[in-house]
């Protein structure tokens, strides 16, 4: 690593792939192993000793004179080829650990505080079972990392290359990338070496002629229908071009058929587009990074209408990914494409983006995106375009503003599920949502369900609906019992159950006993012939 490359790193925030440690005098080998393992389990990165969190270079004495032994020691423990470099800046010594991705299908195991550590943000923690499963299921070959016979530098589209260099320079705050030659760019991205040029380079940067000849299935087709139910399309366009040449044109074609849905909120007009830009771009990037390019004759097909944005891509989910875990488990079928997209800043390194798609759709009141038609032959993602509940949109905005919080996609998904079905998908979020006063329980024990809080129904002006869902108050139900007995001279448990169908028998019996203890009613008869009358002594 050069001093210039170090300065570029210092401009980046600490995240799952980058860690700065002071370690002015000492840093234990077990800590080194934990950090190296954790970073390798999130696709690799850097650990730098001798630098404070505020990026001040203070230097380190850790492993002074012995740092050249570290790669061998780390390899014996982690089975990873870590590169350790000693760098001096203004006479201050820095140790740079360059950490590769874990071995394919094998999570990196440590011998320190953690067994299978992973970085989440700037913290280390144990990997979850889903994260371990995701790595174990990685053994499928990354087809985008294979070499393409007959592909050369002259087959690269200069406009696509230029577009990428500008994005990469902006993402990394390093204008030097703009001056890279095509060959240096591909080499730096590990898309080219002495064996040849890889498939990912063809898909992302290859000229149309090269794609026509070498990978005709790398095609994107867009169809627009004014009515989702009609068979014939009203507009159709296809691209077999390098992705970094057509990315903006593709969005422009979709956006040309966009419309804003307007609704009133007091004196203000809110507008939500049929197709919000960020989730739509994420859906396209997701298809580019995860489709199965080994399927000949398959194309990415987009079917848009005022009802929905539907994108289907060849091949089912990557191994380890299901409809149930897609928001929580990350796996790239084409890791090389996903990582190249990540360097440009278009996607996160994981290449997923589903959380953005789901969160945006629910927060816009359009409901949950649908993946249920996905099969082992193709992934079909349908993002709703129409607003189903504008009041839910306004409620979420008001709640987050008043409580000064940002709800996660998982929390928003739970609220949407409660809005629709009164139940939780993941009860782990129940406590927080109850404490925030966003939801309320109804019923008791095994029959307990949940509804959006009274604040929601007050916000939409439907407190009567809230009362119906929440159920009548206990005191009001007691008044119904007393009124029934007054009107008819007596009353049975069966009659009270008929009058209050939302109340179970045990609750009715408890209320009757409470009224008896208060001296307001007394019981007559036994068994099936038992009934209740007003307490004569009280009536006098």
Q: Torsion angle of alpha carbons 254, 257, 261, 262, nearest 10°?
A: 120
Distances (CA, A) of 1 to 94, 96, 175: 11, 8, 18
Asked if 161 contacts 185 with a C-beta cutoff of 8 angstroms, the reply is yes
Taking residues 465-492, report their average pLDDT: 82
Residue 280 to residue 339: CA distance in whole angstroms: 20
Domain boundary among 467, 494, 519: 467
Structure tokens at 40: 């390798």
Residue 137 to residue 458: CA distance in whole angstroms: 48
- 3-state DSSP assignment of residue 126: strand
Residue 411 to residue 370: CA distance in whole angstroms: 18
Number of residues that this document lists for the chain: 540
pLDDT tens track for 114-129: 999 998 877 899 998 8
Domain boundary among 330, 361, 387: 387
Q: How confident is the model at residue 267 (pLDDT cuts 50, 70, 90)?
A: low
Q: Does residue 396 share a domain with residue 376?
A: no
- Residue 204 has a pLDDT of 97
Question: Residue 321 phi/psi, 5° resolution?
Answer: -100, 135
Taking residues 322-341, report their average pLDDT: 82
Q: Does residue 291 share a domain with residue 231?
A: yes
Strand partners, 450: 441
The domain spanning residue 157 has which CATH number? 3.30.565.60
Asked if 279 contacts 271 with a C-beta cutoff of 8 angstroms, the reply is no
- Residue 485 has a pLDDT of 92
Taking residues 185-208, report their average pLDDT: 96
Q: How confident is the model at residue 224 (pLDDT cuts 50, 70, 90)?
A: very high
Structure tokens at 195: 């064996």
Q: Does residue 400 share a domain with residue 353?
A: no
- Residue 202 has a pLDDT of 97
Distances (CA, A) of 119 to 30, 35, 44, 125: 16, 8, 10, 7
The domain spanning residue 453 has which CATH number? 1.10.10
Strand partners, 120: 123
Q: Does residue 316 share a domain with residue 215?
A: yes
Instruction: Quickly count helices (H) and strands (E) in the chain.
Output: 21, 19
Angle at 439 between CA 435 and CA 440, to 5 degrees: 95
- Residue 521 has a pLDDT of 94
- Residue 349 has a pLDDT of 44
Q: Does residue 373 share a domain with residue 353?
A: yes
- 3-state DSSP assignment of residue 379: strand
- Residue 148 has a pLDDT of 95
Helix ranges (H only) for 256-305 are 277-290
Structure tokens at 434: 């109850």
Q: How confident is the model at residue 472 (pLDDT cuts 50, 70, 90)?
A: low
Residue 310 to residue 252: CA distance in whole angstroms: 17
Strand partners, 380: 312
Q: Does residue 28 share a domain with residue 62?
A: yes
Pairing of strands 45-49, 268-273: unpaired
Residue 475 to residue 511: CA distance in whole angstroms: 9
Q: Does residue 118 share a domain with residue 147?
A: no
Residue 404 to residue 509: CA distance in whole angstroms: 44
Q: Does residue 343 share a domain with residue 296?
A: yes
Asked if 305 contacts 154 with a C-beta cutoff of 8 angstroms, the reply is no
Q: How many Cα neighbours within 13 Å face the side chain of 154?
A: 1
Residue 44 to residue 58: CA distance in whole angstroms: 25
Q: Does residue 174 share a domain with residue 113?
A: no
- Residue 213 has a pLDDT of 94
Query: Any idea which of 25-34, 67-76, 422-431, 466-475 has the lowest mean pLDDT?
Result: 466-475
Q: Torsion angle of alpha carbons 380, 386, 392, 394, nearest 10°?
A: 130
Pairing of strands 220-224, 300-304: parallel
- Domain range for 441 is 390-467
* Contacts for 264 with CB less than 8 Å, ≥ 6 apart: 270
Residue 455 to residue 176: CA distance in whole angstroms: 53
Could you give the percent of the chain with pLDDT greater than 70? Answer: 93
DSSP state of 24: S
Q: Does residue 95 share a domain with residue 127?
A: yes
* Contacts for 339 with CB less than 8 Å, ≥ 6 apart: 43, 332, 349, 351
Strand partners, 196: 193
- Which residue matches tokens 């630098």? 51
Domain count, the chain: 4
DSSP state of 32: H
Taking residues 170-199, report their average pLDDT: 94
Domain boundary among 102, 123, 139: 139
Q: How confident is the model at residue 533 (pLDDT cuts 50, 70, 90)?
A: very high
The domain spanning residue 478 has which CATH number? 1.10.10.10
Q: Does residue 21 share a domain with residue 170?
A: no
Residue 532 to residue 140: CA distance in whole angstroms: 72
Distances (CA, A) of 122 to 18, 53, 71, 208, 330: 8, 11, 24, 42, 18
pTM recorded for the entire structure: 0.60
Q: Does residue 153 share a domain with residue 135?
A: no
Closest CA to 293 of 162, 192, 148: 148
């Amino acid at each position: 690593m050069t001093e210039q490359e170090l300065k570029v790193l210092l401009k980046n925030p600490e995240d799952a792939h980058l860690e700065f440690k002071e370690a002015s005098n000492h840093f234990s080998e077990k800590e080194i192993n934990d950090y190296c393992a954790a970073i390798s389990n999130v696709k690799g990165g850097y650990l730098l000793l001798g630098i404070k969190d505020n990026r001040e270079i203070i230097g380190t004495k850790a492993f002074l004179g012995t740092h050249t032994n570290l790669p061998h020691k780390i390899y014996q423990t982690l089975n990873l080829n870590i590169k350790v470099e000693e760098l001096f800046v203004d006479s201050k010594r820095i140790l740079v650990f360059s950490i590769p991705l874990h071995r394919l299908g094998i999570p990196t195991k440590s011998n320190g505080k953690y067994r299978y550590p992973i970085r989440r943000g700037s913290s280390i923690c144990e990997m979850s079972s889903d994260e371990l499963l995701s790595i174990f299921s990685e053994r499928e070959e990354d087809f985008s990392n294979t070499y393409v016979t007959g592909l050369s530098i002259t087959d690269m589209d200069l406009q696509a290359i230029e577009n990428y260099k500008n994005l990469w320079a902006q993402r990394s705050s390093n204008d030097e990338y703009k001056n890279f030659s095509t060959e240096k760019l591909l080499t730096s991205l590990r898309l080219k070496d002495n064996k040849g040029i890889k498939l990912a380079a063809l898909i992302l940067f290859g000229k149309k002629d090269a794609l026509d000849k070498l990978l005709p299935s790398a095609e994107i087709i867009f169809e627009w229908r004014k009515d989702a139910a009609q068979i014939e399309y009203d507009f159709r366009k296809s691209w077999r071009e390098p992705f970094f040449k057509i990315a903006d044109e593709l969005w422009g074609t979709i956006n040309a058929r966009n419309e804003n849905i307007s609704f009133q909120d007091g004196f203000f007009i809110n507008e939500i587009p049929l197709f919000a830009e960020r989730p739509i771009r994420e859906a396209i990037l997701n298809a580019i990074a995860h489709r199965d390019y080994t399927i000949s004759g398959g194309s990415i097909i987009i079917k848009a209408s005022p009802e929905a944005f539907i994108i289907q891509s060849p091949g089912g989910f990557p191994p380890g990914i299901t409809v149930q875990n897609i928001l929580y488990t990350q796996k790239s079928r084409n890791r090389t494409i996903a990582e190249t997209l990540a360097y440009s800043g278009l996607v996160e390194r994981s290449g997923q983006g589903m959380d953005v798609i789901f969160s945006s759709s629910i927060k816009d009141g359009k409901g949950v995106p649908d993946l249920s038609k996905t099969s082992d032959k193709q992934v079909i993602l349908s993002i709703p375009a129409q607003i189903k509940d504008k009041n839910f949109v306004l409620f979420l905005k008001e709640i987050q503003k008043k409580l000064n919080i940002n709800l996660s996609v998982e929390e928003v998904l739970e609220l949407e599920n409660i809005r629709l079905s009164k139940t939780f998908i993941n009860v782990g979020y129940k406590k927080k949502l109850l404490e925030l006063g966003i939801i309320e329980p109804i019923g008791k024990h095994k029959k307990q369900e949940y509804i959006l809080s009274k604040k929601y129904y007050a916000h939409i002006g439907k407190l009567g609906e809230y009362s119906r869902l929440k159920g009548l108050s206990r005191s009001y139900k007691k008044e119904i019992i007393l009124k029934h007995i007054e009107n008819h001279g007596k009353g049975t448990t069966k009659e009270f159950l008929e009058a209050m169908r939302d109340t179970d028998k045990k609750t009715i019996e408890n209320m009757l006993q409470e009224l008896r203890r208060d001296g307001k009613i007394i019981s007559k008869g036994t068994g099936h012939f038992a009934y209740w009358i007003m307490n004569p002594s009280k009536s006098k």
